[in-house]
Amino acid sequence: MITLADVQAAAGRIAGRVIRTPSLHSDAVSRATGAHVTLKLESLQAIGSFKERGAANKLAMLTEGERQAGVIAMSAGNHAQAVARHAGLAGIAATIVMPLFTPATKVSRTAAWGAKVVLFGETLVETAQHAREMAAEQGLVFVHPYDDEAVMAGQGTLALELLEDAGELDALLIPVGGGGMIAGCAVAAAALRPGLEVIGVEVAGYASLSQMLAGKPVQVGGPTIAEGIAVRDIGVAPLEVIRAHVSDVVVVPERVVEDAISLLAEGAKLVAEGAGATGVAALLAFPERFRGRRVATVVCGGNIDARILANVLLRGLLRDGRLLRLLLEIPDRPGVLADIAGRIATKGGNVIEVTHKRLFAAPSVQTAELEVIVEARDPIHANEISAYLEERYVVRRA
């Protein structure tokens, strides 16, 4: 099992190779959750993820023979870029095996750091197996994303910085995928802050650790916005540390992760990927548990597709009542659209989108169906707009 000395040694090795990211109190998240919240901004690393720490430490520990042989890693995301970047900086040849379904942007970003990218496998299991086979055939050093003590120790360096910068804390919330980050952080916390509650956070579709700790068969799967922690298997080495030093694991619903992304973007002015927002999601999902407590969490990544981020924010506006989707049955005659737009404007609403359907959706040839998406200040304002339209038209809220 790794120790505090391993984490401290890793901090010395990677100093100057990764950013010492800030740990900042977030007023927006604190007000939304009732806790006193500090955010560790690993999303500010060069590749936008904490994964740089483990990769930098692992590569710094290679022997000269291993450096000459080169390294290989398997990843569909942040670990790929981390290994590629630090191998490139160290002059080490790197091969990254990525699944066939990997988005082109992630492939190009990984290759841009100088790595050779190999696309193979319909699933991560197939991709990992192929990477292992290539490592054995070509004599390459396999850099595991989490089940490796050097990687775990590297990830734990973020906790050294956090504990030094954040002051007194009652709880530390750490996202859990394969377990490397929480294991490294838990070792540091147990040694430096005995009694500090270290809590893992998983997303509902991939609650591998909580099922394992409960002695249940691991059943995971399905789409998730937190793909960075959508891992089936917890690493053997991390699991040993987790059993010894982690206080609890909580599971957050998919929708709350979306809410956390929106809160970070709108309130804290921070871009977070799904995995990076799960700590904040735990605060939103379990407010009674953390209200009034001093809590820190890690925004562990900021690599979210711009289209997905836009969709999350729009879905959040709909749920909050700040986007209003109305279906109106209207007479098909001149001036009606102008009247509706005018009534919305009179109440201070902003028309975002209009769809006018005459041929198929309307119940009569003399009527039409109008779909209007309106921006409102809040749910009360949305109700005022809707009520004003209902004075003259048949209105349904969709």
Nearest-angstrom CA–CA distance, 60 and 326: 59
Residue 246 within any structural domain of the chain: no
Residue 51 within any structural domain of the chain: no
For 78, the token pair is: 């942040």
Polymer length of the chain: 398
Contacts of 97 (CB under 8 A, 6+ apart): 72, 73, 74, 118, 119, 120, 121, 127, 128, 130, 131, 134
pLDDT of residue 363: 60
Nearest-angstrom CA–CA distance, 264 and 233: 29
The per-residue DSSP string of 198-216 comes to EEEEEEGGG-HHHHHHTTP
**Number of domains into which the chain is organized:** 1
Give the alpha-carbon dihedral of 190, 192, 193, 199, to 10 degrees.
-40
Question: Which residue segment(s) compose the domain that 331 sits in?
Answer: 322-397
pLDDT of residue 361: 53
pLDDT of residue 398: 81
Residue 377 within any structural domain of the chain: yes
Contacts of 133 (CB under 8 A, 6+ apart): none
Q: Which one-letter DSSP state was computed for residue 277? A: G
Closest CA relative to residue 323, chosen from 371, 380, 382, 256: 382
C-beta of residue 53 within 8 angstroms of C-beta of residue 12: no
For 172, the token pair is: 């530390």
pLDDT of residue 368: 84
Q: Which one-letter DSSP state was computed for residue 301? A: B
pLDDT of residue 186: 98
- pLDDT tens for the chain, 398 residues long, are 999 999 999 999 999 999 999 999 999 999 999 999 999 999 999 999 999 999 999 999 999 999 999 999 998 789 999 999 999 999 999 999 998 988 788 889 899 999 999 999 987 789 999 999 999 999 999 999 999 999 999 999 999 999 999 999 999 999 999 999 999 999 999 999 999 999 999 999 999 999 999 999 999 999 999 999 998 889 999 999 999 999 999 999 999 999 999 999 999 999 999 999 999 999 999 999 999 999 999 999 999 999 999 999 999 998 888 999 999 988 888 899 999 999 999 999 999 999 987 655 556 656 788 999 999 999 999 999 999 999 999 999 88
> At 360, which CATH number?
3.30.70.260
Alpha carbon 114 to chain centroid distance?
26
C-beta of residue 160 within 8 angstroms of C-beta of residue 188: yes
For 158, the token pair is: 């973020």
For 294, the token pair is: 């001093």
Residue 301 within any structural domain of the chain: no
What's the first-to-final CA gap in the chain, in angstroms?
A: 55
Residue 105 within any structural domain of the chain: no
Residue 180 within any structural domain of the chain: no
Using alpha carbons only, what angle is made at residue 286 by residues 313 and 312, rounded to the nearest 5 degrees? 10
Residue 386 within any structural domain of the chain: yes
pLDDT of residue 358: 64
Helices (H) and strands (E) in the chain, counts: 17, 14
Residue 329 within any structural domain of the chain: yes
Specify the 3-state DSSP secondary structure of 348: coil
